[in-house]
Amino acid sequence: MHRSSLSIQGSTLKVSALVLALAAATNAVAVENGNQRYSAGIGGSDMTTPVVPGLYFQTPMVAYHADKIKGNDGKQRQVLGAPVNIDTDTYAILPRLTYISSHRLLGAHVGVTAMLPVVKRKASLSTVDPLSPYASIVSAKNGSASGVADLEISPVMHWEIGDHQSVTFAPTMIMPVGDFKEDRRANAGFGDYYTFRPSVQYAFIGDGWDLGGRAVMSFNTRNKDSGYYSGKIFNFDWQAMAFVSEDIRVGVQGYFVRQVQADTSKVAIDQMLIDMEKGSKASVNAIGPAVAWLMNGGEMLIEGKFIKEFGAKNRTQGQAFWLTISKPL
Q: How confident is the model at residue 11 (pLDDT cuts 50, 70, 90)?
A: very low
Secondary-structure class of domain 3-328 per CATH:
mainly beta
> What pLDDT is attached to residue 46?
85
State percent of the chain over pLDDT 70: 83
Length of the chain: 329
Q: Tens digits of per-residue pLDDT, 122-140?
A: 877 765 555 555 444 445 4
End-to-end CA distance of the chain: 79
H helices of 85-242, where?
135-138
Global pTM value: 0.84
Q: Tens digits of per-residue pLDDT, 240-252?
A: 999 999 899 999 9
Of 67-81, 85-99, 184-198, which range is least confident?
Answer: 67-81
Q: Are 237 and 214 in contact (CB under 8 A)?
A: yes
Rounded Cα–Cα distance for residues 315 and 90 (Å): 14
Q: Are 75 and 314 in contact (CB under 8 A)?
A: no
**Domain ranges, ordered by start, for the chain:** 3-328
Q: Are 88 and 124 in contact (CB under 8 A)?
A: yes
Q: How confident is the model at residue 4 (pLDDT cuts 50, 70, 90)?
A: very low
| Bridge pairing between strands 118-127 and 108-115 | unpaired
> What pLDDT is attached to residue 30?
32
Of 11-15, 95-99, 189-193, 246-250, which range is least confident?
Answer: 11-15
